[in-house]
Structures are given as structure tokens and as C-alpha cells.
Structure 1
């Protein structure tokens, strides 16, 4: 029976056992993750990043419990590797249960419960060390007696006691919620800051611990509501010497500075670490990131390979030469198979010009003179339509100018800068239009290792998602990653699309706010698709938009923030407003993982500016009809050849795929 990726890995590191965490770990070649975590550094850190950036894997891998397992429970080696006594705790997602007690009492009981969770993880680690390393735990029990006022026979009894205390709180909450009985709440044992005494327990075990700080690793900070985050932040602020924190979570849900009293300050009480910077495609690390994904894919494919032969990841995904053979169409006009496309482009152009058909045909004849490629024909049409000061009196001369520049490019290549630049801008979008016109019923084509890097934004979870979906497509045809010289492009394309569906429909389900965010993304996707498949394709590659964040009303801003938090949109900085010199607009792009749903590009270049009205319609919970109306007007603008008041214009019929065909 063939081995599959799903047998050995998961999209979520939370589902891995400790052995899998060790086996699947991979840092960048610059050890970026280790540096960001920096367990030996003094002070606390918040590690914030988008979904799938490796937060859970990072914290678990560098926890002492997991390190001991990979180092055969050698304390000295493990502590030296980590530089700290690191204790991992995944924050549960049911902490809203304390809200029933009211704000003040809820905070008090949450603090007790939270400390118990930390102590549970601490003594679970100590119990593990004692049992695996045959260390006597009597000294630990003596220290525990001092803080809990209770004698314990061994560490297991301490763990049992802590679990009972946590269970008592759960029971008290149940009676309070179901029966309005708060009597058990009053009997809860209050513990206070024992988490800042745990070093004593470790020191009592072995002198190997003496020179190391305790670092608590808290995962999934987004699971905690803001009131309770303040309590965790208070721990950061009031932390005693030798005790520090590494707290990981999503950016938009992070509240790092607020405490119960004074504010924490970045650079003083903590350091804010942006994990997304590791994956910044525009950074100097881009080449290294590519190598990281190369290593990442190879490591996972090695898990299912039948032998130890070399795995050439880039070759497995196919080359441009392989793709040309698969496509079997250079879109030459002279080829009979392309005459239908040629005639469609020609007739659509002639019909759309609001002048006599004779002159329209003459203009087309000039634009197509000497052209034997549908790619260059479409580019000539775009350059003609985008000519400055175009009007009914200069159409022939402008067409001649465009054709002259085309022929100059054939002779001079990149030295004909204007045409060369336009070709680089529009080639990908034109090829997508041509492919769809030729194959309207087929899946959008996405292939190659480079595309894997671009669509996934180098995000390990996204990469695994794509690999899983490609593997499913291969299994359907009784194949695997190694059955042929490279993965067939249809399997890759379907895999990319299925991964996009999973990312959008299943990996972003967090209640009503996520549904509202996805509705906004559907509008944005439709808008970008209309741009890419318009006659006058925008110079910017249709993937990014910009707008004034201040233009968003309160509800729209909430949905916009959710789009960022759920990684549906990616914040890529700011840009100067094109109309107001002193104003900057926020710039975001659709997560490229979603590109296959709307047949969009894998990378962005530039951005499309949105009006106040349009951006609020996009992020509004309702107004779908009004958005459709606005989008229709935008489509008319992008597909209009001439737009003069005295000329009636019929926009060219759209060639864009319908959304229903892609989902």
C-alpha cells in the first residue's frame, strides 16, 4: 500500500504528536524562527503572525518536553540547545465561560484557572523528566508542600491535585450557569503567582537547571478575549527575574499593551515580533525563503518516497518547457486552430468601436499588420485603447504608432522600452484571457514550483494544503508524486484550486464574522476578476487594492479587520493617494491562495484604487444588489473603447469566467 502525506503530517501542528513535531521541524537556512523566539534572551516577546506561519510548531519544538524527546532525555544537551526551561501551554478556546460571573469576579477566577493550567503543564513536564530520567521527586514534593500547604507522595499526586482544582472551577461554573448557584464559586482555592516560583521545583530536581530562566510558551493568544488578555499581559508586566514569556497569536486579535493597570510598552516590558516578516516576498530573504520551501517540500515528499534516491522538487512540478509542450499552442495566428480566436477578437473589436465598420476594420488591419501572435495582437489592442487623448479623429494615426512600436520591439527587443514594459505588464493576464477563450470549461492553469511559492506566500501550512490536494488528484488517477517525470498540469491545477476552496470554505470558519469577511472577499474577487478579464486590463496586476481606511464606517472596518485576521487579505503597506498629495491609503492584496477561485495572478504589481463608495459596498454586510450595480458600471468603464459624450458606446462582451464556474 502506497504511503500518503496525510499518514505522516497534518495541516495543523496542534494535531501532531511530539515525535511528529520533531520529525517535521525545519527552520530557514538563516535560522529565522530560532532567532525570533530567542529563548535565551532576557525579556518577554509576543510573536504575532498570520494563520499557518508556524507559531504552534515553533513553540512546541522549542519546548523542553519535546526537546528532551529528541535528545533521549539528556537534560544537559536539551537545556543547552534551548537556553531556557521552556514550558508550552496551548490556550483553550472555552475561556469565555468566565463571562457569566461578571467582569470583576470573572477576572479573579480566570486568573486562578489560568495559573492552574500553567502549573499543570509545568508538573506534567517535571513528571515526564522524573519518570524518563529516573530522578527522585521527593525534593519537588517538599517544595510543593510549602506552596500548596499539602503533603504529596510524588509528582503524580501534585498533578492530580492541580487537575482537581481546575475541575472544581469547571464544576462551580456549571452550577453557576445552569442552576444560578454560586456557593461553589466561593469555595474556590485562590492561588497567587505560584508560576513565579516554579524555578524552585526544577532546581530541587537537578543542578542542571540552576543557570537557566523559566520561559512560558503560550500559544493561540487569539483564543482569549480582551479582558482576560489584560491579565496575561499583567503577568508579563509583573514578571519576576528569571521568568519570561513567549506569547504567540494572530496579529489583528492581539492586545499586547493593555493590562489591569498601567500599559505595557513595546521595547520595555516586551518586544513585539512580526513572524510575517519572515515570509515577506519583497525582503532580502526571498531567495532563502524559496530554498526553505524547497527543503520543506523535499522533507515531506521524503516521508512517502519508496527509496532514498534524490528528489528534484522543481523538476517534479514541471518546467516552462514541459508546460509549452502540454499547452501545445503558441497562439500563432497562422495556425488553423487559432483562427477561431483570431476572428472572435477581430469581430468583437470591430463591433465595439462606435464608428463605421469600414474604419473599424481598417484600424484593426493596421494593429494586426505583420502580427503573427494573438498575444501581440491583444497587446496592440490594449496599447491602442490606452493611448492618451484618444478620440475619433486620431484613431488611424494612433493605431499606426502602436504597430510601429510593435515592429520596433521585434527588431530591438528590450531597447524598445515602452513596448517591452507593456509586454511584461500584460503578458500573464493576456495569456489567461487567451487560454480561457480557448478552453472555457477547463480549470484555471496553475503549475510549477515557483507558482507554489507565490500562491502560498511561502506559508508552510498553505504549502502542505496544496500538496495534500495535489496528492488527492493523483490518487484519483492511481498515481503519486513519483509516477511520472513531473506531476501532470491538470492535477496541479485542480490541486491548487481545491486547496483554495479548502482555505476559503473550511479553514476560515469562525462564526458570523468570518462569514461576513468571506462575503466581502467574494466581492473583491469578483472585482479583481472583472479587471483581469476586461478589454482594457489595468496596468497593475489585478490582485491588490488600495483605499482610505478612514473611509470605512464602523461595521465595514470590523469586517475589513476580520479579513486580515483570517488571512483572506494581506496587508502590504501604504501608498500615497493618487488624488491627494498629503494623504496615504492602505494597500492590501487578496491572499494569493485564493487566486484560483477567480482565475487571478499569483503575484501582484501595483494596485487598484477604490472609491469611498465602492470600498464600503465591498465590506458591507448587505448592499449586494448595489455592489453588483456598481461593479457593472466599473466593467463598462474597463470595456469601453471610446467614451465621448456625443458617442453611444457598447462595451465589448466580457470574456471573464463566471464565478460559479470556478467554485
Structure 2
């Protein structure tokens, strides 16, 4: 057994350059041309949730990492493969918070100086590597340094004679800012920064200087790959917005950030903003990962992690690693596999049905249940008949007739050779997984409802590499604890997968989303949203099939709710869908969102959505506004609505045997 967990390291930010190369899996999408487009002059923002691969992509296509994997090539040959001189840097390494103690008029100035020195140093580091590895070219250090002196104009540069000493010079000026920032905390004297080097125009002169240094680099644009942009506050992001506006065919930027990680598009000094489609373009990595086209990528990603070991020679399709439930036909095999207690489930189902029957017609509840469910062996059809009965418009003169009609349709549907398209078949296809989930919960299955199979892992992860690693890491740990191996010839059983997937969901919610008070607000909203979805899924009258999504009017969010909503999206607790939902009544376009399916097991929710719930302004703000305390009231209201059977009263004679003191049915607690 391999003692090293191949799924244990989740964050690309923690990888060495060697691991970035070693763990790379080719993407279905053409990353270099379609996502990064390194030859394109227009800067790009690459949006993606945590773990979507932003860092891995940027680091993989950075010059220094590419040089390491192509160590037999010269620096210029690596540039030819990349098509650009690419410089990677993470925003949190700028340490923006250390500038916060400065007066407002100095913050941006000193921060910009620090950033330009940092990126200048990174460029020179790459030039040194190119010179050391491409020895057959001529390099004009003297003219390069003359161009630097002409644009920076600092006397100490006259002492610099080569690239190595230039790199040291830049480093010393950057460290001087750090030292003075530390001093300022104690003595609060702005005079400390009078001697600070301000470049101000690095991106206007650095590429012409490189071209002077070596004409072999003339055709390679300089592209800065900036990661974790969301870690900068708005006033610091605006500095990069200035850089973005200065971009051209010779110097450009690719900036990776979380959804909603760009807090401002304004530039400094003037009342203007960069515009999407003009100063920059957008790429949504989450949308790409959620497409079916990436399933092959995730398959290869798993196999590469598992078998990228010189001592392991067996390679299989990832789909073969995981047992899955047979949910074909009427789910009889799935129910048999899980050994669910049919009689217990039926008893609870009948109790819920009778309790939800209108009090004025309670004496007919038992006979109505019998009409719907007798002579049918398949548990899923009994549940579907009840759901169909709840959804049919019925009155006091025809509800028994409607129950009989539904029963007749189910008898036809259960016979494969007699099945035909129609209302019953559509209902079955829409609701079978929700009804199966209810069956599992009614049975109190070992870990609530089962989650298993490669297809489930792919959909639950949204094609996100870190989410896949999270799930497989938990599976690996469970197998190791039980003395089993991922490398055995046996596929992983459903119970182990379900336990591990529940642990992965808990880790995602509690550990992988822990960012202090801001994430706590987002989590509270996520908990409410998930509870609302679960109330829908485990209702007697399920309002929407596979309820994992909701739609709403963006303008219905109040200011406080909007802030928390944006945080929930940024922390990947909630995912925004690319296409808006057209309201069935007004035809207005509504925002469409879904709970991140990594969280689904915590509430026994589906990992894909079919329908979406409509959230009005009241429930929307009850979910996302941290000061709003009305959520429980709204939840109880829909709980009553979705768990009540409605029968219109047309014939008062049917009420003659109903006691005048009959009470409304008590709503049972939902089983989650």
C-alpha cells in the first residue's frame, strides 16, 4: 500500500514549482490560447471559485516554472513555447495591509512603489535566467541599464553595472519600504518616505528596455500573471486598474480572482472606470469547469494523482474505482442494495399523508391512501402517486376519482412494455431522485442518503479540482483507517464513499471556508438557504424537482443582504449560474443561483438541480440580511404550505360526519 496520501495536499498555493509541473493534467479547454491568450494585448480577469485551478494555471504558465519542467531548453526556447515572458505573483505577498497605517494621501503612492519594485525585481530575475541559459545570444547590459537610468533617474543607479547588481539594488529599495513601514508604526513621521524610490511608469519603459537588451526577445510580450486579487481592498485594486489601463500589445496582465473578487474598476486620480470589453476581458473558470466537457479532465486528474508513482503500473478509468447505486427503472435494485425497511417507510409515509389531509375530509384520508397505494409493490410509485395527488387540482366531489385515476396510471407505468410518454412518466423522471431521497431518510439510512459513484463526485465537485481532492482525501483516509487501499482491485463501497463525502462536505463548510467574521456571515446565510431548499425537497408536495437552485430579482436584495450575498458567492458557498432565469409570469430575467453542491450532503440535497425556487423580496432578505430575524417565520409558513393537501370544498354534504371541533393537522418535523 502506498503510505503517502496522493490527495492530501489541496491548495496549489502550497505546492513547490516541481509539484506544479508534476501534478499538472492537460485541460480539455485550450488554456494558453483561450483562457490566458498570452499574445493578446487586452488584459483579462480570470474569475473562479476557490480550488478552481486559477493558481495552478498561472504558475504552470509562468516562465520560471516552465523553465523548470523544460530544463533541457534554453530560456529563449521556453519563451518560444509560452509565446510570452510571463511573470507570476500573488497579491497577498504584497502585504497590502501593512500600508493601512499610512495617511490616506500616502497609502496608494507607497503601495504602487512597492508593487512596481516587486514586479521589476521579478522581471530582472527572469532576464538573468534567460541570459544564463541562452549563451549563444548577445546581451546589451550597458544599453539596458542606460534605459533604466533614463526612466528612473536615481543617482545610485550609476553604480550598477550588470543585472545581478540591479536585482540587488531593487531588492534593497523594496526592503527600505518595509523597514520604514515598521518604523512608521511607532514614530508616525511621514518624512520616512521622502527618500522612497517612486518608479511610477515601470510598464511604459520596461519592455522597450528588454528589447534593447536583446532583440531576440522583441516579439515576446511581457505578461504579468497576478493571483489572489480578491485579497486587495478597493483602494489598492485601483492601482492595478491603472496598470490595466496602461496595457498594450507589449505589456499586459492576467489577473485571477474569486467571483465578485473585483471590488472596483475605478482608476486613481480621475473619475473614470475601466470597462469590460474595452480595457479588460472576463473569463469565468467555474462555468468552464461545470461543463460536461471537463468530465474527462477530472477522470485524468484522479488517475494522475493516484497512479503518478513509478512503483504503480496499473492504470484504470476512475469510473471503475467507485461503486454506485443502480437507479435505473423503478429503483427496486437501489432499495434492495441498501436493504431499506419497506414496512417502516410505508408506515411513516401513511402517517405523514393522513396528518396532512384537510381536517374537514380527514375521514377519507385512509381510504384515499389505500386507493393511491394498494396493489403496487414498488415503493417509489407509491410515493409518486401521493405526490401526484398533492399536485392535482381537486375538489370535494372528485378527489377520490382523481386518486383512482392516478393509481390506474401507475399500474400502466409499472409495466415496461406498456409505458408511454405523458404526465405520469414526466413526473417520475422529474421527481424520482427526490422521492428516493425521502425513502432513504424515512428509513434513517446509515448516513442519511447515499452519495456514491464517479458521476456523483464529478457533479458534487462542480468539476473543481480542489473539491475533487477534498472528497478523495477523505475517502483515502477512511480506507486507510479500515486497513484498506485505494490501490486494491476492489471498487470502493457505497457506505465508505457516503461517509467520506459527508466528511468532505463538513470540511468544505467549516475549514475550507474559514475567513473570520465575514465568512461567518456568509455561512449563516448559506445555512438558511440550504434549510429552505431542504424543506422543499422533503415536503409532501415537493414544489420543484431536485431543488438546489433559486431565482430572484437582483434589485430585491437590500444593501446589507447584497453585501452578505456577495460574500457567499466569493467564498464559493453559493454559485451564480451564467444564464438568468426568465420569470414564468412577468418574463423578467431573474438571477439564478444554486447552493454549492459540495454542501449538499449536509442537508441531503441533490448534487444537480432541475427546477428552481422563486425567492420573493421578503424571504430573500430574511436569508441574506444578517439583521433580519424573520427567517424561521417564513420557513414555517412554506413548511405548512408544502406539507398540506388542498381540496376545494364544493359539496357541503361531505362534511356531515366531520366534528365541528376538528383541528388543523399538526405538521410533523422534517427528517433532516
TM-score normalized with structure 1 length: 0.90
**2:596 pairs with 1:588:** no
Listed one character per residue, the Cα deviations across residues 408-463 of structure 1 (whole Å, up to 9, x for unaligned) are 22346551411111111111111111112223552531101101111011111111
**Which of 543, 547, 551 does residue 542 from structure 1 map onto?**
547
> Which of 643, 649, 653 is the equivalent residue of 2:664?
649
In the TM superposition, residue 351 of structure 1 has moved relative to its aligned partner by 4.3
Aligned equivalent of 2:45: 46
Partners of 1:258 and 1:556 lie apart in 2 by 24
Q: In the aligned structure 2, how far is the partner of 1:523 from the partner of 1:351? A: 26
Q: 1:34 to 1:486 in 2, by over 3 A?
A: farther
Q: Deviations over 1:22-61 (max 9, x none)?
A: 1122232342464210112233222222222211111111
Kept in 1, the 8 Å contact 2:322–2:454? The answer is yes
- Contact kept, 8 Å, 1:556 with 1:616, in 2: the verdict is yes
Q: Note if 1:608 corresponds to 2:609.
A: no
Counterpart for residue 2 of structure 2: 2
1:661 maps to: none
User: Following TM superposition, by how much is the alpha carbon of 1:375 offset from its aligned partner in structure 2, in angstroms?
Assistant: 0.9
Gaps of 5+ in 1: 658-663
Counterpart of 1:272 in 2: which secondary structure? strand
Q: Do structure 1's residue 225 and structure 2's residue 224 form an aligned pair?
A: no
Paired with 2:235 and 2:340, the residues of 1 have a C-alpha distance of 69
Q: Deviations over 1:217-244 (max 9, x none)?
A: 1111112221222221112212355111
Instruction: Give the whole-Å Cα distance in 1 for the aligned partners of 2:32 and 2:565.
Output: 29
Paired with 1:251 and 1:427, the residues of 2 have a C-alpha distance of 33
Superimposed CA distance per residue, residues 529-553 of structure 1 (whole angstroms, 9 cap, x where no aligned partner): 1111111122332111122221221
* CA–CA distance in structure 2, aligned partners of residues 322 and 249 of structure 1: 39
What is the rounded CA distance, in whole Å, between the counterparts of 1:516 and 1:395 in structure 2?
Answer: 47
**Comparing both chains, which one has the higher relative contact order based on Cα–Cα distances under 8 Å and sequence gaps of 6 or more?**
2
Q: Deviations over 1:455-492 (max 9, x none)?
A: 01111111111111111111111222123421121221
- What is the CA deviation profile of residues 107-149 of structure 1, one whole-angstrom value per residue up to 9, with x for unaligned ones? 1111111101101211222333445556899843663364252
Following the alignment from structure 1 to structure 2, what is the Cα–Cα distance between the partners of residues 395 and 495? Answer: 45
Alignment of 1:222-301 (within 5 A): 222-239=230-247, 241-255=249-263, 257-260=265-268, 261=270, 262-281=272-291, 286=292, 288-301=293-306
CA–CA distance in 1 between the matches of 2:614 and 2:418? 32
2:397 paired residue among 384, 389, 393: 393
Cα separation, partners in 2 of 1:195 and 1:150, compared to 1, 3 Å: farther
Name the counterpart of 1:557.
562
Please identify, of 639-648 and 61-70, the stretch whose mean Cα deviation from structure 2 is larger.
639-648
The residue that corresponds to 1:112 in the other structure is 113
Backbone CA RMSD of aligned residues:
2.8
How has the CA–CA distance of structure 1 residues 321 and 48 changed in structure 2, closer, same or farther, with 3 Å as cutoff?
A: closer
Q: How far apart in 2 are the matches of 1:630 and 1:637?
A: 11
- Written as runs of structure 1 = structure 2, the 5 A alignment for 1:166-205 is 166-199=174-207, 202-203=210-211
Cα pair 2:234 2:264 within 8 Å, conserved:
no
Q: Which moved more, 1:52-61 or 1:247-256?
A: 247-256
Is 1:164 the counterpart of 2:172 in the alignment? Answer: yes
1:571, 1:588 within 8 Å by CA — same for their partners in 2?
A: yes
Cα distance change on mapping 1:141 and 1:512 into 2, 3 Å: farther
| Cα distance in 2 between the residues matched to 1:236 and 1:103 | 23
Distance 2:561 2:140 in 1: 58
Which deviates more, 351-360 or 62-71?
351-360
CA distance, structure 1, for counterparts of residue 238 and residue 593 of structure 2: 30
CA distance in 1, matches of 2:96, 2:597: 33
Mapping for residues 335-354 of structure 1, pairs under 5 Å: 337-353=341-357, 354=359
* Aligned counterpart, 1:92: 92
Query: Contact conserved, 1:542 with 1:608, CA < 8 A, in 2?
Result: yes
Structure 2 gaps of 5+ residues are 650-659
For 1:636 and 1:322, the matched residues in 2 are separated by 31
After TM superposition, the structure 1 = structure 2 runs for residues 13-28 of structure 1, keeping only pairs within 5 Å, are 13-28=12-27
Summarize deviations over 1:194-226 as a string: whole Å, max 9, x none.
343333564466543232111111111112221
> Are residue 632 (structure 1) and residue 603 (structure 2) matched?
no
Shift in Å, 1:607: 0.5
Give the direction of change, closer, same or farther, for the CA distance of 1:137–1:593 in structure 2 (3 Å limit).
farther
Instruction: Give the drift of 1:366.
Output: 1.1
Give the 3 Å change call, closer, same or farther, for CA 299–369 of structure 1 in structure 2.
same
In structure 1, C-alpha distance between the alignment counterparts of 2:640 and 2:591, rounded to whole Å: 26
State yes or no: 1:83 paired with 2:112: no
SS class of match (2:486)? coil
| Partner secondary structure for residue 89 of structure 1 | strand
What is the SS of the residue equivalent to 1:600? coil
Q: Is 1:566 aligned with 2:567?
A: no
CA distance in 2, matches of 1:369, 1:241: 74
* Change beyond 3 A, Cα 1:240–1:346: closer
Partners of 1:128 and 1:166 in 2: how far apart? 21
Equivalent residue, structure 2, for 1:470? 475
Quote how far apart the aligned CAs of 1:306 are: 4.4
Shift of 1:271: 2.2
Please tell me whether residue 448 in structure 1 is matched to residue 453 in structure 2.
yes
Which residue is 2:655 aligned to? none
1:237·1:269 contact (CA, 8 Å) conserved in 2?
Answer: yes
Answer yes or no: is the 8 Å Cα contact 2:327–2:333 preserved in 1: no
- Give the aligned partner of residue 404 of structure 1: 408
Task: Please state if 1:208 is matched with 2:216.
Answer: yes
Normalised TM-score (structure 2): 0.89
Rate the CA distance shift 1:583–1:514 in 2: closer, same or farther, 3 A: same
CA–CA distance in 2 between the matches of 1:16 and 1:404? 61
Q: Within 1, Cα distance between the matches of 2:68 and 2:451?
A: 41
Q: How many residues align?
A: 645
Mapped contact 1:257–1:265 kept (Cα < 8 A):
yes
Cα gap change, 1:12/1:68 in structure 2, threshold over 3 Å: closer, same or farther?
same
Alpha-carbon separation, structure 1, partners of 2:62 and 2:421:
58
Which residue of structure 1 aligns with residue 652 of structure 2?
none
For the residues of structure 1 that align with 2:437 and 2:473, how far apart are their CA atoms? Answer: 26
What is the distance in 1 between the residues matched to 2:68 and 2:671?
54
1:555 deviates by 0.4
Distance verdict in 2 for CA 1:228–1:452, change over 3 Å: same
Deviation at 1:162, TM superposition (A): 1.6
Distance 1:327 1:3, change over 3 A: farther
SS at match of 1:405: helix
* Inter-CA distance 135–509: structure 2 relative to 1 (3 Å threshold): farther
Paired residues of 1:71 and 1:77 also in contact (CA < 8 A): no
Cα 1:115–1:317 shift into 2, 3 Å: same
Is the CA contact (8 Å cut-off) linking 1:138 and 1:153 kept in structure 2? no
Q: Distance in 2 between matches of 1:425 and 1:33?
A: 40
Change (3 A) 1:413 1:459: farther
